[in-house]
């Protein structure tokens, strides 16, 4: 009779364990690989979702910026109108003169010469007389008559227009014909968007 080894149950048990581990590994490996792939797909999906959220947030920011820009553009259109003609400026100046009681004795449109002055100064490199691109100066020489308070109110109303306005070259003198009246002569510069 053969001698039985005391280690046989241990060897058998070790073989069964190795066999179980191998079978488990063979059976579980595809599931582990699938889980790993699913984990990678999930990470990619999260990244894509975050990118899409950021994109949508940027669109929301851009929309709010556009709404804010629309307000700024409306304000800018008041300060620097795009489609204003010199006739519009004449109507506005006349309305202010009528409301303040000033008489406009003469009005000379010097917009063309003013534009040439700016272009000439820009070509010479005089920085103080350069205008932003597409801003066009409009100018007029005014000769007015009125009492001191009327002239002061007229100039004040011109300066307080919501649009960009400069009053320069002001000369005031007493009217020799009508006592209490003052003759005023000055240049008014307005600006608009244009070519």
pTM, two decimals, is 0.58
- pLDDT value for 87: 84
CB atoms inside a 10 Å sphere around CB 137: 23
pLDDT tens, position by position, 135-177 = 778 889 999 999 999 999 999 999 888 888 889 899 999 988 8
Task: For domain 86-193, give the fold.
Answer: Alpha-Beta Plaits (3.30.70)
3-state helix, strand, coil in the chain (%, to 5): 60, 20, 20
How remote is the C-alpha of 30 from its chain's centroid? 57
Which strands form 135-146's sheet, in the order they lie side by side?
103-109, 135-146, 182-193, 165-174
CB atoms within 10 A of CB 84: 19
Q: What number is the average pLDDT over the span 4-30? A: 78
pLDDT of 130 > 70? The answer is no
**CB of 187 closer than 8 Å to CB of 143:** no
């Amino acid at each position: 009779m053969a001698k039985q080894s005391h280690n046989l149950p241990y060897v058998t048990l070790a073989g069964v364990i190795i066999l179980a581990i191998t079978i488990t590994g063979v059976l579980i490996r595809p599931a582990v690989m699938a889980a790993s792939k699913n984990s990678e797909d999930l990470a990619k999906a999260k990244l894509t979702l975050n990118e899409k959220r950021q994109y949508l947030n940027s669109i929301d920011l851009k929309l709010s910026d556009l709404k804010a820009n629309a307000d700024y553009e409306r304000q800018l259109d008041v300060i620097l109108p795009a489609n204003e003609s010199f006739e519009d400026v004449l109507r506005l100046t006349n309305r202010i003169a009528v409301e303040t009681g000033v008489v406009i004795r003469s009005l000379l449109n010097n917009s063309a010469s003013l534009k040439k002055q700016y272009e000439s100064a820009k070509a010479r490199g005089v920085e103080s007389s350069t205008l932003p691109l597409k801003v066009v100066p409009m100018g007029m020489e005014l000769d007015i008559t009125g009492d001191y308070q009327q002239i002061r109110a007229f100039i004040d109303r011109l300066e307080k227009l919501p649009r960009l306005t400069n009053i320069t070259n002001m000369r005031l003198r007493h009217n020799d014909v009508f006592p209490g009246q003052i003759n005023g002569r000055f240049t008014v510069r307005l600006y608009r968007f244009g070519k």
